């Protein structure tokens, strides 16, 4: 890719030029802030938190509502170099990271050295459809909170905070519910799969990610529900750091 990276798309912590970049894609309704907190503790990588339109520093921009336009817009605004880098996504972010990887392959771009997905069944198990994104605001917030949790109680109880949350959440559920998986050749790179032992996403659904690569696949479940990574961040980050050690980090990278 020969475009310069737009500062709108990526937010990073303190520079770590020797460390491989880890591009982090948030869950539905989430923002880059979720992963900026990792920058302090994940010292063997340089987290690059992806900020989608319609939230955080891009709150004034209209959110994207389909996977194709999201992937196209992201790749038009972000340039990857040939140095080792990895993708991490949680829930919807896993699907976005996967589709970005497939689009990079299709266009001859550099590929991540590892794809780390979390809290999402393998893409071929997804069935398009669903009407959550069409629900009235209060019903949408309640439905998502009941299904996955992750929405702070103060957001549900405060109209001003709920109003900031509902736009990105509705757009992201539109992306998810209108997504249709298209069969392609499996990727040829290692995939690490994380999940919560008490999540609705089953061990079998996580293990099915093996069908999407000819490379090595590691599956790990942690205690907790859909947002297990908030419940036990230290053990999750240690495991993620271990996966990233295999990237062939640039000379002089700090140890994880």
Over the stretch 178-231, which tens digit does the pLDDT of each residue have? 999 999 999 999 999 999 999 999 999 999 999 999 999 999 999 999 999 999
Q: Where are the beta strands (DSSP E) in the chain?
A: 10-12, 21-25, 46-50, 85-90, 114-118, 191-196, 217-222
State if pTM tops 0.75: yes
Kindly indicate the confidence band of residue 47, based on its pLDDT and cuts at 50, 70 and 90: very high
On the question of pLDDT at 82 being above 80, the answer is no
On the question of pLDDT at 253 being above 60, the answer is no
Which residue in the list 6, 57, 66, 91 is annotated as catalytic? Answer: 91
What integer pLDDT is reported at residue 4 of this predicted model? 52
Radius of gyration of the chain (CA): 17
Element spanning 92, H or E: helix 92-106
Cα separation, 240 vs 256, whole angstroms: 9
CB 90 within 8 A of CB 228: no
Task: Compute the average pLDDT of residues 27-35.
Answer: 88
Structural domains of the chain in order of their starting residue, each with its CATH number: 10-125+184-246 (3.40.50.1820)
Provide the total of helices (H) and of strands (E) in the chain, helices listed first. 9, 7
CB 21 within 8 A of CB 48: yes
24 HSE (CA, 13 A, CB side): 25
CB 248 within 8 A of CB 84: yes
Residue 91 designated active-site:
yes
């Amino acid at each position: 890719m020969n475009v310069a990276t737009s500062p709108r798309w990526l937010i990073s912590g303190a520079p770590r030029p020797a460390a491989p970049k880890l591009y982090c894609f948030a869950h539905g309704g989430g923002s880059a802030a979720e992963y900026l907190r990792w920058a302090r503790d994940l010292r063997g990588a340089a987290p690059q938190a992806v900020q989608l339109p319609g939230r955080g520093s891009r709150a004034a921009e209209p959110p994207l509502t389909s996977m194709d336009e999201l992937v196209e817009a992201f790749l038009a605004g972000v340039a990857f170099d040939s140095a080792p880098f990895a993708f991490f996504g949680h829930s919807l972010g896993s699907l976005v990271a996967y589709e970005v990887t497939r689009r990079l392959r299709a266009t001859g771009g550099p590929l991540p050295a590892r794809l780390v997905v979390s809290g999402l069944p393998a893409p071929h198990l997804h069935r398009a459809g669903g009407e959550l994104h069409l629900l009235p605001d209060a019903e949408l917030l309640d439905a998502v909170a009941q299904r996955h949790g992750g929405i702070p109680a103060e957001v549900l109880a405060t109209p001003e905070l709920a109003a900031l949350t509902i736009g990105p959440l509705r757009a992201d559920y539109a992306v998810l519910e209108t997504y249709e998986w298209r069969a392609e050749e499996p990727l040829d790179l290692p995939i690490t799969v994380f999940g919560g032992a008490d999540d609705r996403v089953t061990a079998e659904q996580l293990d099915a990610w093996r069908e999407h690569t000819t490379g090595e696949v590691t599956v790990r479940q942690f205690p907790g529900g859909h947002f297990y990574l908030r419940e036990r961040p230290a053990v999750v980050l240690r495991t993620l750091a271990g996966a990233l050690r295999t990237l062939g980090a640039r000379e002089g990278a700090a140890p994880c």
